Amino acid sequence: MATRLARAGCGRACLHLPTDAVETVSAFARRLRDGTLTTDEFTALRDAFLTHCLDEYQLIPVAADIITLSCALLERRPLRAYDAVHLATALVVQGFLARRGQASLTFLSADDRLNRAAAVEGLPTDDPNQHA
């Protein structure tokens, strides 16, 4: 599945799901609709973010094992569908890294509920809002 992990400027291995890009652009669009971003700010943020995704992250396709694990996570954790896919992907990649003796990944989310679920599933977590 993951044959190569991209290295971001921070020096950490970073993974990014295509659905995460949709979630992030959705958050930008929500701020545009509620008036906390102008059209120009929205366009600049969206374009910079999508360019950053292509330059800095390895996109991981959603495979059958991720779908199966996502469904299992939804049964045992109070998650939204995209959040379950995000967490399942991290767990699958973590297994990939562990089998190769590589360092653990850090699960990154600004969603407290999702971070709690990731921690219960055994992943170290980080919240980007804690680094303002």
Q: What is the pLDDT of residues 19-77, one digit of tens each?
A: 777 878 888 999 999 999 999 999 999 999 888 887 877 777 778 899 999 999 999 99
Q: Would you say residue 8 has pLDDT above 80?
A: no
Q: What is the pLDDT of residue 26?
A: 87
Query: Does residue 91 sit in the same domain as residue 46?
Result: no
Domain presence at residue 103: yes
- Place 15 in a pLDDT band, splitting at 50, 70 and 90: low
Calculate the average pLDDT of the chain: 84
Classified as helix, coil or strand, 70 is: helix
Domain presence at residue 74: yes
Query: Does residue 64 sit in the same domain as residue 125?
Result: yes
Query: Does residue 43 sit in the same domain as residue 74?
Result: no
Domain presence at residue 7: no
Q: What is the pLDDT of residue 103?
A: 87
Domain that holds residue 89: 60-132
Query: Does residue 51 sit in the same domain as residue 69?
Result: no
The number of folded domains in the chain is 2
Query: Does residue 67 sit in the same domain as residue 100?
Result: yes
Nearest CA to 107 among 122, 99, 96, 95?
122
Domain presence at residue 8: no
Where would I find the beta strands (DSSP E) of the chain? 6-7, 13-16, 58-59, 107-108, 125-126
| pTM greater than the 0.75 cutoff | no
Higher pLDDT, 79 or 63: 79
